[in-house]
Every structure is written in C-alpha cells, then in structure tokens.
Amino acid sequence: MSRKYHKSHAAGSVVLAATLFLLAGICRVAEAVTLPHTTIQTFTLPNGLDACLVEDHQSPVVDVQVWYHVGSKNEVPGRTGFAHLFEHLMFDGTTNVGAEEFSDYVIRSGGIDNAYTTEDTTVFWETTPSSQLPVVLWLEADRMRNLDITESVFNNEREVVEEERRLRFDNPPYGTVVETLYQHAYTVHPYQHMTIGSMHDLDAARIEDIRDFYDTYYVPNNATLVIVGDLDPVEAESMIRKYFGPLDRGARLPSNNIPQEPPQTAKRLVKLDLNVALPAFVEGYHMPADGTPDAYPLRLASNILSEGESSRIYRRLVYDKQIALEAQSTGNFTEDPNLFFVFAVLNQGHAPAEGEAEVEAELARLKTQLVSDAELQKAKNETLRDFILSRQSTQTRGDELGYAAVVLKDPNLVNTELARFLAVTPEDIQRVARQYFVAENMTLVEVHPNNTQGSGPASETGTAGQ
Amino acid sequence: MSAQRQSSEFWSAAARWATAMSFLPAAFRQASVSCLAVLLLAGPALARDFPPEALPAKPLVLPTPAVRVLPNGLKVVAIERHLLPLLTLRLVVKSGAESDPATLPGTAQLVSALLTEGTPTRSASQIAETIDSIGGLVDTGAGWDESYLSLSVLNDHEELAFDLLSDMAMHSNFAPAEFERKRRQTISGLEVVHDDADYVADAALRRLAFLGTAYGHPEDGTLASVRRMTPEDLRAFYERYYHPSNTVLAIVGDINTAEAFERAEKCFGAWANRAAPVKAAASPEVVSHRILAIDKPDAVQTEIRIGDPGVPRTDPDYLALSIADQILGGPSENRLFKALRSHQGLTYGASSELLSYQTAGVWLVKTFTRTPETLKSVHLALEQIKRMHDHAITAEELQTAQGYLIGHLALDFESSDDVASHTLELLVYNLPLDYWNRFPEKIRALTAEEVWNAAGRRLASENNIIVLVGSLSGFEKDLKKLGAVEFIPLAKVDFASPVPGGSR
C-alpha cells in the first residue's frame, strides 16, 4: 500500500508514571521513564519561509527537510498524480545544477537524499555528515526557484512515474485493493484518488502545467524548512537567511477550497475478483483528521486491536481461530478526515465473510465493554516506546518535527503530544468506537481469488449497498 | 511510504555494506571542484552558480565494544549508549538458512519464528502479553549465516528483558500446537509470495546462481518442505546450532558495561555448551551461463535479475568489489540507474548488490520494466556489466564511491539496533573488532586499477545468469536473440529443484 502512515511521534519531557503493572515473578518497582525535552528554534523569513531548527550533537549528522504544503489533495480531477510527478521533476535540474547532479553532491559526501509525496505534503530531505549543511541548504534554495525542465526530461520522468505505478499498484498481488477502497469510500474529497494518480491522468499530464504549479506551490511562503542535528543555531540561521532570503515570495496564495466529504449514510461493498492465492478484505471507516481530540483514542484503539501478538484482532483471527495469515487495524491519519482500516488476509478455505464476522465481534466488544486499565496502559506503553524509538535517528526526528509543524501546525507538539495519549481514558476508547465503527460509516472491499493463472487483470464484479 | 523516488529496499541494501567513519580528505573536495570546472566549460556558456564549500568535517567517534567470553563459550559484547532510556539485546546464532537440512529448506526460519512461542515456564500467550505490556519490541528471524532474536525495552525493564530473552533462546519447547499454527502461517505466506514476480525472480536467481552451494534455496522454504516438517525437525536444528559457543549476544543501550556482563552471566551462565557445529566447506564458484524466463501472463512489468560471480564476505577482494558495486548500482545516480532510468525512462529502479556470505558470493543486478521494453532493458543492463568488465573506472567515480562509503558510516551508527547489527556482523564473520575504525583508511587506499581488476575478473557474459519473470507473450520471440532460453510457466516453478521448472 503506497500511502504514508504517520504513526509514532517524538515526545517532550513527559513522565510516564510508574504505574506499570507488576508481572508475575518480576517484583521490581518500575522507575519513571523520562524523555528529554526538545528545544526548537523557529523563525519566519520576510518572504514567508518558516524554519524550525533543533540542535542535537549525538552524532556528526544533520538532516535537512523542505516541506511544501502541497499534496495529492490539491490536485483537480483529470490531473491526479501531478504533485508526485512534480516531486520527481525537482531532481531533474536547475539553471545551476545539471539533471543528474543534485544527488551526486549529496552522495559523494556519504549522505543520502530522497523525497516523498503524501495526500497533504511534498517533502524533500537530505541526511548527511554535518559538515555538508551549507551545500545542502544551497541546493534546496536553488531548486525552490531555479528549476529548468526540458520537454524530453519531462516525458522521461513521466515514464519513470508510470513504472512506479506499475511497481506499487498494478503488478503486485493485492496492489489495487486500497485504491479501490478509496475510490468507493470517498465521493467528492480528493482523498478519493491515490497520490500516484491514474495511468490515464499521468498520460495526459502536460509540460505546460509545470510552470503554474511551480509558481503556485513551490514558493517560500508555502514551505517549511526543518533542520535537526549537529549544527550551530546561529551559524545555521545565517546560512538560511543567506540562501533562502533572496527568494521571491509567491504572488498567488495557494487555493484552499478543497471539497469536504459529506457524511456516509450506508455501508458500501465492493467485491474484487483477483489473481491472488488467498482471500482478503479491507474495511475503511471514516474518522476525524489527525491532531483532533478523537485521533488519540483512535490511535490507542488501533494498538489495542492489533499492536503485538497479544492484541485483540491478531489474537482472535490469527492465533485462536487460525483463519488468517495476518490481520491488522491502522488509521491513516492526515490533515483532512481519512479512514481507519481493518484488514485481513485469510488462510486457504476461509471466506472473507468469516473474517469480517470475527472483526465485527471484536469491534462490538470495544463498544460494549470498557477496556481494562491494564490493557489501556499496555497501549500507552507501546506509544511511549514508539516516541523513544523515533528519537534514535536524526532523520526520524526531522520527520516528526516537520509533520508537527506542517500538518499539525504546531512544532512544539513533539514535546506535548505524548500527554494527549496519556490522558485518554477507557471511556474515550468506548466513545470513539461507538461513534466511528458503525456499518453505515464503512466501506468494505472483499478480495476473492479467481484461481486461474493468467486470466488477465483484476476486474470489479459488482458494487452493492444502499 | 508514499510514492518515493526510490524503493527503501534499494537504500537499505546500499546502507548494509556502507561503513567507515572519519570524513573526506581535502584532496577529494578539490577534485570534485575541478571536475565541475570541466562540466562548466563543456556546457553552454551560461552564468552558473555553484554550491558553497562544506564546513570542516567533524570526527566520528565509533562506540567501543567491550567483549567478554563466558566460561560456557558465549561471547558477549556490551556497548554503552546513555542518550535515551532504551536497552536493546540482540542474540545471534552463527547458523542460518545455509544450515537447513538439504531436504528441508526453511527450517532455520521456522525455528526462529517459534522462539517466541513457548518455553516450559511461559506459554506463547504469556510471552506475547509480557512483551506487549511493557512496550517491548521483539524480533526474530533467520537469514544466511545467522539466526537472531532481539528484544528492545525501555530501561526500567532490564531485568525482565534478560530473563525473557535467555528463556526463549535456551528453552524453546516447540509445542506441537504452536508449531502447527506457525507452519500454517508460513504456508499461507508462501502461497501469497509465489504470485509476486519480485519474490519469484529473486528466488529463481538464487537457485541458479548459488546452485551447488549451501545458499541456493529460499530461506523461507518451499510449500513442499514446510508441509513435510515436524516439530522434531525443528528441535534437531535447535539442539545442534543453538548453544553458547555458536552464539554471540550484543547488549546495547542505557546500561553500564559491568552490569551488562553481570546480567548476561546470571541469565546465560547455565546454558550448557556442545561441540561447535561443522561448517560446510567453501563451495566452488559454479555460476554458468543460463537464461530462465518464467511466464506470468497477468504481469504488466517484467522483473529482471542478472547474477555474476561474487565473493565471500571475508574475501580479500570484498572491499574493492564494494566500490565497484557502488559505481555499477549503488545508491542514487549509479551507472545502471543513469542508463535505464535517467536516460531512458525504462524503470523506476535499477541497482546492484553483493550477496556475500561465509563460503560463497554472487554479484546481483536488479531492475524491472514495462513488458514491451523487457529486451531493451536487459540489453542496457548487460551493456553496463560489460562496460565494467571492459573499461577502467574513472578517478571521479572512484572518489565519489569512496566518499560515500566513508562518509556514510556516521549515518550507520545512529540507532542501538544499527550499532548492534554492525558489531555482530564482525563476530559472525570473524572480522577484527576494529574493522569499522580501520575501514576508511582501507577504502581510501584502493586504486582505480585495483577496483577494476577485482570487478572485471568476475564479470563475463559466458557465466552470468539471467532470470526474467513477466508476461512472455509480449517479448518471447525477441528473447531467443539472447541465446538458449528455458521457458517455464509460473505454476510449474519449483525453487528446490536444480531446474526450477523440472519435475521432482
């Protein structure tokens, strides 16, 4: 599934009270685990560029990220996939840097660079030895305003992106299942289409569209620069002002009239007949945007349902009943309201309906019985662990900071967000389960193996529901 | 991850053998500036700006592992890291899928999968509940030359972590019900991946390129082998290979070295030793030219693999070959990437990789393309392999590759898991403990000629292996121009047969 899931977060100076249970045979009083506070320096240049810096000398490494607040939800019908195609073009040369040179500058110092596009953002990043900071900042400032794309480069890059689509969606088993889910779960909001776009729209993309997209979205006042690592903040700020300061602010403000999805009122069912070995299904329930109060109990509900082998859905479908190869739940939390998923790949001889009934029983249990304090604490401990693990690398710290600043609109959430998880009560979990995990809010995609090798591409056999 | 420019596997493969520590020599920076001057002169006469100079390099201080061998032969490595309240224990048994019985591929992996599934004093459920409750993270697996069991916990559960890890490593009981459940899961997993062209191409290439060695079967087994397995087969493997003198334990994180050793001694001291297992003798290089085309009629892309002879991990040519591999198919704009993607738009990814094990090695080239462009892509990849064979590498290519391998070391020692893995790799392959400290000087000392000699000798069209998995009707006729081709429908592929399409 080619979507970016945002799961763990960096955290602030929050203490998890020593209420961890005493396990059989281990009579040791748990000490409080504390996370170090992250000091963030933020400032905005006169041209509108936001900057967030974190000084951290644990290794001689620096991570630079430029977050453009544009993703596939900014695309209009007929132009799906354009934000991501544009991400590729950003590596294809400027008036100062040749078509294959950007990454060469990064690689020859031992660094790595890449980029990704989500529904909401397009992110360019470089992780390098810290001595390379001025080089990387210069390179990013250069391509923010000096892109220089020829028609042949554009056509070449479009073919590369079409290969990427085949690789991730059209060729692998089950590759189109999530795309089908979104096509049916959404009716007007652009989350209806995948970030990669449709092959038809990619074919139709024209070089004439580039300049307008670039001038609208790739401007300092639509970008956030994140730097984490072995840096001197005074020196870093002066470099930022030197390289990004002269860039012109964008003339037009990015339009923000994205159609909001109306509430779903009836269950939607899609059956797919695919050339795969095992049956499967995925359910998607509409849920609120990331950073909203209900996002936190929903994330913890996801842990309770499927994080670790003692979690409820894993336990029931994979371990006890042994009807599934794997079964999981996860929320795709984004800037606008997205979907909470439950999916399973079933063992041979078990129909999707059988797995769906077991999932339904677990969701019903969440709605009718309060989770125990111990089980909720387990979910919180897993969250705390993820916060700590994400602190280990300079790059993941940059990821968390950029996400907090751009999508959640508050960089300091890397310090304060853990507290929101720890404040969740069993009643909160029950309330969100009752509110969101209901049939009329759900889209279900069933996958039925057609068991005939080479009978051609997947076909939709029917759409039901009222 | 969403629509990334390159697959993460690509980067992790590159990162695996990237190492080294300090930073670029001044000479390198000068050289790159002068090569840019050449580009500028050659290009159109436009005013062009260049990036600023880098800052002075900061030294990278690699962690120093402390090593102690317990009386029973268990080697323990401790590395202190006090930045985060985290402890990682990683136990590695120096036997993996290469030690699978010949008739039972997948044994090592199923053994490792059952380590978390019960001991005489803890049921599978109790183990899962205990780990999840404290926010622990457990991982097990078996690759080539090693099986592993790792556990990360917050540092308020040190004692529990040692107790649990040692119990799982020393007392797994392979209960029939748990075995049956994991076996069934494994079979379902194999059924799914056997429809995945990427998996099928890798497994078929491995079969042919490592034929006659201990490394020529799928590490996750075959449907037939997994169906044949019994709990007794797993217990036999476990008893033969899981013992102290065949095992190393890394303790990394927020713990004092003295305490780490003390806890290791307490938890693993009673583990009875046995005679060390006999390793298979070095295998001869047996790669001989073959072309295999596997038909998957619903495919829209063809997965392409080309295997050439490589080297074992401890071969004297390994580092020279690492540089050559970097140039041919390392991260970002390598030769294959430029030829197939940047210049022609034929693929999203093109890379190469050294599969280097204890007693055998293969140099692997991987790419994929839309069905109609299959032959063109194969030719372009072969052309780059031939170019590496026929022509010396340039000074600039050498410097870029050296710069990457040396500079990247700083990025490779950030997480406790990374530190543990890099240190354990040395112990598994009996490499000196100061290997990473000395890596930069060794990489820097290699000349373009040495790199070319090491690479060119191993690349020749008469002994490479080509595997294609795709919809053959799209290119079948052209395919014969490559030479004698064996055609097999996907459903007939048997990864344990010497001829993957042959009947058994």
**Are B204 and B293 within one domain?**
no
Residue located via tokens 């990387």:
A136
Angle, nearest 10°, between helix axes B395-407 and B318-329?
110
Give the CATH number of the domain where residue A364 resides: 3.30.830.10
Q: Which residues of chain A have pLDDT under 70?
A: 1-32, 253-255, 451-466
Return d(Cα A14, Cα A380) in angstroms, integer: 13
CB-based contact (8 Å) between A464 and chain B?
no
pLDDT digits (tens, 9 = 90+) for A221-234: 999 999 999 999 99
pLDDT number for residue B281: 62
| B125 interfaces chain A, CB cutoff of 8 Å | yes
Integer Cα distance of B314 and B445 in angstroms: 18
A&B contacts, CB < 8 Å: 304
| Torsion of Cα atoms, B328 then B142 then B75 then B237, to 10° | -140
Q: What is the pLDDT of residue A32?
A: 65
Domain count, chain A: 2
B478 and B362 inside one domain: yes
Determine whether the interchain pair A100/B338 forms a contact, defined as Cβ–Cβ distance below 8 Å.
Answer: yes
What's the one-letter identity of residue B311?
V
A260 — phi, psi (to 5°)?
A: -90, 145
Contact between A50 and A405 under an 8 Å Cβ cutoff? The reply is yes
Subunit contact A392:B86, Cβ cutoff 8 A: yes
How far is A5 from A339, CA to CA, in rounded Å?
A: 11
Of B268, B300, B327, the residue that ends a domain is B268
Q: Tell me, what's the pLDDT at B47?
A: 73
* Same structural domain, B205 and B256: yes
Q: How far apart are CA B153 and CA B131, in angstroms?
A: 8
Q: In the listed set B237, B268, B299, which residue is the last one of a domain according to the structure? A: B268
Residue in chain A closest to B295 (alpha carbons) equals: A454
Same domain for A290 and A236, yes or no, is no
- The residue of A131, A238, A247, A399 whose CB has the most chain B CBs within 10 angstroms, and thus the best one to mutate to test that interface, is A131
In order of A267, A393, B169, the CA distances from B157 in angstroms are: 45, 22, 18
3-state class (DSSP) for residue B448: helix
Contact A91, B4 (CB under 8 A): no
Q: What is the CATH number of the domain that holds B89?
A: 3.30.830.10
Same domain, residue pair A275 and A380:
yes
Looking at the domain assignment, is residue A257 inside a domain? no
* A276/B contact by beta carbon, under 8 A: yes
| B208 and B246 together in one domain | yes
Name the closest residue on chain A to residue B185, using Cα atoms: A325
A286 and A374 share one domain: yes
Q: Which of A244, A278, A301 is the last residue of a domain?
A: A244
The pair of three-digit structure tokens given for residue B271, joined into one six-digit string: 């583990």
Residue B139 forms contact with A (CB below 8 Å): no
A 288-327 residues with CB < 8 A to B: 307-311, 318-319, 322, 325
Min CA distance, A434 vs chain B (Å)? Answer: 25
Q: Which domain holds residue A65?
A: 39-244
In 3D space, the residue among B85, B421, B256 whose CA is nearest the CA of residue A385 turns out to be B85
B333 touches chain A (CB under 8 A): yes
Range of the domain at B86: 66-268
Does any CB of chain B come closer than 8 Å to the CB of residue A415? no
Residue B233 lies in a domain: yes
The runs of H, that is alpha helices, within A166-308 are 177-185, 199-204, 208-217, 233-244, 295-306
Co-location of B117 and B258 in the same domain: yes
Q: Which residues in chain B touch residue A392, judged by CB atoms under 8 angstroms apart?
A: 84, 86, 414-416
Please, what are the averages of pLDDT over each run of 10 residues along chain B (504 residues)? 34 26 24 30 59 92 92 96 93 97 96 98 96 94 97 93 98 96 95 94 95 93 96 97 96 96 97 77 67 95 96 96 96 88 93 95 96 95 94 94 96 91 94 94 97 88 89 86 90 79 42
Are residues A193 and A80 located together in one domain of the fold? yes
- The last residue of one of the domains, among A210, A244, A278, is A244
pLDDT for res B181? 94
What lies within 8 Å, CB to CB, of A56 at 6+ separation is: A228, A229, A230, A394, A397
Rg of chain A in Å (alpha carbons):
23
Please tell me what DSSP assigns to residue A132: G
pTM > 0.80:
yes
B321 and B257 within one domain: no
Count up the domains in chain B and report the number: 2
Identify whether B51 is part of a domain: no
Of B15, B345, B405, the CB nearest to A156: B345
Pick the last residue of a domain from B235, B268, B301.
B268
Q: How far apart are CA B388 and CA B392, in angstroms?
A: 7
Query: How far apart (Å, rounded) are the C-alpha atoms in residues B36 and B431?
Result: 39
B102 touching A (Cβ < 8 Å): no
CA A348 to CA A359: how far, in whole Å?
Answer: 18
Over residues B429-449, the pLDDT tens digits come to 999 999 999 999 999 999 999
